[in-house]
Amino acid sequence: MNKQKQYASVFELNGTPKFGEAFPLALQHVIAMIVGCVTPSIIIASVAGLSDGDRIILIQAGMTMSALTTFLQLFPIGKKNGFRLGSGLPMIMGISFAYLPSMQAIAEGSSISSIFGAMIVGGVIAVIVGLFMQKIQILFPPLIAGTVVFTIGLSLYPTAVRYIAGGSDTAVPFGSWQNWLIGLITLAVVTTLNHFGKGFLKLASILIGMGVGYVIALCMGMIDFSGIAAAGLFQLPQFMHFGITFEPSSCIALGLLFAINSIQAIGDFSATTSGGMDRQPTGKELQNGVVGYGLCNIISPFFGGLPTATYSQNVGIVATTKVINRGVFGLAGGLILIAGLVPKFSAALTTIPSCVLGGATISVFASIAMTGIKLITQEELSYRNTSIVGLSVALGMGVTQVVGCFGEFPTWVTTVFGKSPTVLATIAAIILNQVLPKTAPNEALNE
């Protein structure tokens, strides 16, 4: 007599759950991350002036490498009780907005191949951070990490507004009432669902908002479907399609962000284990997770994938649902992989008008900035700490608002410090945190 197959609970880390239970939970994670995963690729493709075919390849590569990076975190390579690549924790990885300002600057001033060269350097830095986690972590307390995240959020606002106004689309003029109408309707739907929706409606607020904006744009004749018909049904990532260039200033800019995001990943790993597993991550899990993250970002550039990172929105789902089964997350990774291997799906994503993307992502960028504020306020807002945050953000944002402020300096100075505010803000915050004297614990801002 055949024994009935034993299925694992979705609330257990290991084991195979029932497909009927796992699939909707996996789809929930895909819906939460898919917009954030593809949007950076779409934006960078536009900034770099890529052809329609190359845009599709960039989006495909991003989703494919996000899936493979997720698999490595879920199912580590190596000995269970020794060193492994990957944390073994229920995580979703995807293309990160955190790198977007610097990538835009690199794409505008150099080339997309310079992004991939800088990624390799950044991946090596992430591996080093992982190997020496405890010693390097002290440089990035919540105050410093929050300052950097806050600056990233602020620096992305102009991108969102530029896209609401029309971006590089030619269907209607830049700044037209049509673009603004669709962008604001998209934003209104996202905001309404975020605050009044529950369950699926709240979870998929960005996706639904983009759907509403897309339908309106379609009715107004702003969408061209010709690229979908020309795209194939199946295609593997293309090795070295975009090439790799090691441009020093680009490597410095992205390298610093990789170090910061390596430390930021600790927060997501900790939130996952504390929210879903009622414990803190072990030192090995943190080390192996960050090293695995770095290694994946060394490999991804060879196949055209932009930088990946842990996805906080998926961490939030874990904390809310307590679903931690790796089979569920593996199924989610499988769905992302399938989407990445189908060019027609990627081609359909390239038809999304810029105004729709802008209306949907401005709320994401606002969330990034507020996450930075939450990190900052984990520490007391003393005169010293507010000086660090204020001066760092002022320097970072200030220099990028004044075109040519480094006009008499070598070109690399502008590329490193004058294009993306995050680099200068990061350096200033770290130096100020080490140099400024510690204040008394009871010294508040209003004293």
Map out the domains of the chain as residue ranges: 19-435
Q: pTM here? A: 0.77
- In this prediction, residue 444 has a pLDDT band, given cuts at 50, 70 and 90, of very low
Q: Quote the CA–CA distance of 300 and 65 in Å, as a whole number.
A: 6
Q: Quote the CA–CA distance of 428 and 425 in Å, as a whole number.
A: 5
pLDDT at 244 over 90: yes
pLDDT at 74 over 60: yes
For residues 85 and 78, the answer to whether their CB atoms sit within 8 Å is yes
| Helix/strand/coil for 85 | strand
Beta 84-85 vs 77-78: how paired, if at all? antiparallel
The angle subtended at Cα 121 by Cα 95 and Cα 365, nearest 5°, is 30
pLDDT at 267 over 80: no
* Mean pLDDT on 345-369: 83
Beta-strand ranges (E) seen in 5-143 are: 77-78, 84-85, 93-95
- In this prediction, residue 93 has a pLDDT band, given cuts at 50, 70 and 90, of very high
Selected residue with higher pLDDT from 24 and 337? 337
232 Cα distance to chain centroid: 27
Q: Which of 314-328, 352-366, 385-399 has the lowest average pLDDT?
A: 314-328
- 80 contacts: CB under 8 Å, gap ≥ 6: none
- 215 contacts: CB under 8 Å, gap ≥ 6: none
- In this prediction, residue 144 has a pLDDT band, given cuts at 50, 70 and 90, of confident
Q: What is the pLDDT of residue 228?
A: 81
Q: What is the pLDDT of residue 243?
A: 93
Encoded tokens for 300: 């991804």
Q: What is the pLDDT of residue 285?
A: 87
pLDDT at 113 over 50: yes
Length of the chain: 447
- In this prediction, residue 442 has a pLDDT band, given cuts at 50, 70 and 90, of low
261 Cα distance to chain centroid: 10
Over the chain, what is the mean pLDDT? 85
For residues 87 and 287, the answer to whether their CB atoms sit within 8 Å is no
Q: What is the pLDDT of residue 367?
A: 79
Instruction: Note the pLDDT tens digit of each residue in 284-309.
Output: 888 899 999 999 999 999 999 999 98
pLDDT at 445 over 50: no
Q: Which long-range contacts (CB under 8 A, 24 or more apart) does 398-404 make?
A: 399/424, 400/155
For residues 193 and 370, the answer to whether their CB atoms sit within 8 Å is no
- In this prediction, residue 349 has a pLDDT band, given cuts at 50, 70 and 90, of confident
pLDDT at 6 over 60: yes
Encoded tokens for 102: 């610097």
